[in-house]
């Protein structure tokens, strides 16, 4: 049995009850065959068996009191997956469907994504099965404070630096940072990123994931002679990531015609522009978790319970909502609709393996999320740099560095795909390029 097959089998046996984790381990390991099976040094050093096992993971109780005085308890997580190339780095997700499988898949992805940024950051992820929907401001603050009261002992500027993810934005980071500072008794700004601009945050962090995704898209477009301004995009989601994507596409003259939420999708053939973009932020902070209100306010079409894949005419599909939102039947519909041949993943792992295999087999170009959305964590890392320097950079400086990082990522994954004999397969290219640096660091540092 080959090295890759042996490790996949081992993960199936040990972690077979964690479907999302198993899904992303299989995707990554299968594409690493050309490198790990070409030289026995990887197997000798146990690189893969070490990579699939988190260095440390903590699960903890998060007790808090709701506005009615009732005691509530949620489950908190922090998985510190790999510190081979730097301190653990990765977001916190507050969502009811958070469990150890979801956090482990996100943490595993983060190892390779962070490596692709070229910054010295390891991989980690955390969160809680807390549902921000319908919670009051005071409840959110109490929850964040309680969460940090346990998390604080595991993080720090040189240890582990969490940031936001779904359900965790600037407001939540603010409450968590306040509690962290209080417990520590010192101002360690680099222990959290995504902070507000008045207390150590980086300008441009809020936009970074979305802007980075569009800069990345521009690099790919150069290879096929396309421009953002002549392109119609179908986007899903309406949160922070979708917002940044829509804002940058609009600025560059392109058109976004859909947004989605758990309640369905909206189709706005005039394009999401101007005040409609600002309204996306209002929808997120309202904690209602739906997009129907957009359709009402701006006279757009609303399709309850549906997703836009293959249902609207667009040149490019850009899932920005959550994992596994494009299933095999969506992929079939995209192929039948026949207009779009480009899928740009922005959410983490938005495509199921079956859908991905089908689309790629039929020649659809897939740009993988761990490369496309790396701009978010890249600017988080720039925030850590600014915090270490006790300085704040100007908008132009952050934006220029983000732009350069995204260009480099595209160039590196394209090169890796060619080097290992799968030109144009950006999914494999991203895994291979991300892996190279991490594996090299592991080989240098001995068995640890
Ligand atoms: O998925 C991601 O890369 C994030 N949620 C951002 C992580 C970070 O540390 O900025």
Ligand 1 pocket, 377 CB below 6 A?
yes
Does 285 score more than 90 pLDDT? no
Closest ligand 1 atom to 380 CA: 10
Say if residue 131's pLDDT is above 90: yes
Segment 159-171 mean pLDDT: 97
Among residues 247, 272, 276, 244, which one has the least CA distance to residue 257? 272
Q: What is the pLDDT of residues 200-223, one digit of tens each?
A: 999 999 999 999 999 999 999 999
Q: What is the mean pLDDT of the chain?
A: 97
Q: Is the CB of 331 under 6 A from ligand 1?
A: no
In three-state secondary structure terms, 251 is helix
What pLDDT does 293 receive?
A: 95
Please work out whether the CB of residue 372 comes within 6 Å of at least one atom of ligand 1.
no
The span from the CA of 281 to the CA of 122, in Å, is: 30
Nearest residue CA, atom 9 of ligand 1? Answer: 90
Q: What is the mean pLDDT of residues 164-180?
A: 97
Q: What pLDDT, on the 0 to 100 scale, is given for residue 190? A: 98
Decide: 356 and 328 in contact? Cβ < 8 Å. no
- pLDDT number for residue 108: 98
What is the pLDDT at residue 67? 98
Burial 274-285 (b: 16+ CB within 10 A, else e): eebbebbeebbe
The alpha carbon torsion through 230, 233, 239, 240 (nearest 10 deg) reads -40
Mean pLDDT of the 40-46 span: 98
Eight-class DSSP state of 38: T
pLDDT band at 240 (very low <50, low <70, confident <90, very high): very high
| Average pLDDT value for residue range 238-251 | 97
CA of 106 to the centre of ligand 1 (A): 9
Question: Which stretches of 152-203 are DSSP H helices?
Answer: 170-184
- pLDDT (0 to 100) of residue 70: 98
User: How far is the centre of ligand 1, averaged over its atoms, from the C-alpha of 74 (Å)?
Assistant: 22
Is 332 an active-site residue?
no
> Is 167 a pocket residue for ligand 1 (Cβ < 6 Å)?
no
- Global pTM? 0.97
How confident is the model over 337-342, as a mean pLDDT? 92
Residue 113 pLDDT exceeds 90: yes
Per-residue confidence at 157, pLDDT binned at 50, 70, 90?
A: very high
Cα 282 to middle of ligand 1, angstroms: 22
Out of 169, 209, 240, 345, give the residue to mutate to test ligand 1, the one with the largest number of ligand atoms within 8 Å of its CB. Answer: 209
Model confidence at 136: pLDDT above 90: yes
Q: What is the mean pLDDT of residues 112-135?
A: 97
| Three-class SS state of 259 | strand
Q: Among residues 89, 125, 248, 276, which one is catalytic? A: 125
Residue 340 has pLDDT above 90, yes or no: no
Calculate how far, in angstroms, residue 14's C-alpha sits from the geometric centre of ligand 1. 27
Please tell me the predicted confidence (pLDDT) of residue 284.
86
Cβ contact 100:59 at 8 Å: yes
Cα(380)–Cα(91) distance, integer angstroms: 10
211: closest CA among 246, 185, 179, 236? 246
- The average pLDDT across 252-277 equals 98
Distance, CA 112 to ligand 1 centroid (Å)?
A: 12
Give the residue-averaged pLDDT of 432-446: 98
- Does the Cβ of 432 fall within 6 Å of ligand 1? no
Count CB atoms within 10 A of the CB of residue 105: 25
Of 165, 214, 223, nearest in space to 194 by CA: 165
Judge whether residue 27 has pLDDT over 90.
yes
Q: What is the pLDDT of residue 447?
A: 97
Mean pLDDT along residues 94-116: 98
pLDDT in tens, 385-438: 999 999 999 999 999 999 999 999 999 999 999 999 999 999 999 999 999 999
Can you give the length of the chain in residues? 448
- The three-class DSSP label of residue 120 is coil
Q: Are strands 71-82 and 56-65 parallel, antiparallel or unpaired?
A: antiparallel
pLDDT beyond 90 at 1:
yes
| Element holding 376 (H helix, E strand) | helix 374-389
Whole-angstrom distance, CA of residue 65 vs CA of residue 342: 47
Q: Is the CB of 193 under 6 A from ligand 1?
A: yes
Q: Which of 309, 236, 233, 296 is nearest to 269 (CA)?
A: 233
- Atom 10 of ligand 1, residue of closest alpha carbon: 377
Q: Describe the strand order of the beta sheet including 316-318 as a list of residue ranges.
A: 301-304, 264-267, 255-261, 232-235, 316-318, 342-344, 365-367
């Amino acid at each position: 049995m080959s090295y890759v097959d042996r490790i996949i089998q081992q993960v199936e046996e040990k972690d077979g009850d964690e479907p999302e984790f198993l899904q992303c381990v299989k995707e990554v390991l299968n594409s690493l065959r050309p490198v790990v099976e070409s030289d026995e040094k990887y197997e000798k050093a146990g690189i893969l068996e070490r990579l699939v096992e988190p260095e440390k993971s903590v699960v903890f109780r998060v007790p808090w009191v709701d506005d009615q005085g009732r005691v509530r308890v949620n489950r908190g997580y922090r998985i510190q997956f790999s510190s081979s190339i730097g301190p653990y780095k990765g977001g916190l997700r507050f969502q009811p469907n958070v469990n150890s499988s979801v956090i482990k898949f996100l943490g595993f992805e983060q190892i390779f994504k962070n490596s692709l940024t070229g910054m010295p950051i390891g991989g980690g992820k955390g969160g809680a099965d807390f549902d921000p929907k319908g919670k009051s401001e005071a409840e959110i603050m109490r929850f964040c404070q309680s969460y940090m009261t346990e998390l604080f002992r595991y993080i720090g500027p040189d240890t582990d630096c969490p940031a936001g993810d779904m359900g965790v934005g600037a407001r939540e980071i603010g409450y968590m940072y306040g509690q962290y500072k209080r417990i520590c008794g010192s101002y360690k700004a680099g222990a959290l990123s995504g902070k507000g601009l008045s207390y150590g945050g980086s300008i441009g962090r809020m936009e970074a994931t979305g802007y980075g995704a569009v800069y990345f898209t521009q690099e790919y477009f150069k290879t096929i002679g396309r421009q953002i301004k002549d392109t119609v995009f179908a986007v899903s989601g309406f949160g922070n990531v979708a917002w940044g994507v829509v804002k940058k596409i609009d600025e560059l003259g392109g058109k976004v015609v859909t947004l989605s939420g758990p309640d369905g999708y909206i189709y706005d053939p005039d394009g999401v522009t101007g005040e409609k973009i600002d309204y996306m932020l209002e929808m997120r902070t309202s904690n209602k978790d739906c997009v129907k209100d957009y359709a009402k306010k701006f006279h757009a079409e609303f399709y309850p319970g549906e997703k836009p894949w293959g249902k609207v005419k667009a040149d490019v599909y850009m899932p920005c909502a959550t994992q596994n939102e494009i299933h095999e039947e969506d992929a079939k519909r995209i192929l039948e609709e026949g207009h779009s041949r480009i899928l740009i993943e922005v959410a983490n792992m938005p495509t199921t393996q079956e859908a991905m295999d089908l689309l790629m087999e039929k020649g659809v170009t897939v740009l993988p999320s761990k490369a496309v959305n790396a701009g978010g964590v890249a600017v988080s890392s720039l925030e850590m740099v600014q915090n270490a320097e006790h300085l704040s950079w100007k908008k132009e400086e952050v934006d220029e560095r983000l732009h350069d990082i995204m260009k480099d990522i595209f160039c590196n994954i394209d090169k890796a795909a060619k080097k290992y004999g799968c030109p144009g397969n950006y999914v494999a290219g991203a895994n291979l390029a991300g892996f190279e640096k991490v594996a090299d660091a592991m080989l240098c540092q001995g068995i640890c």
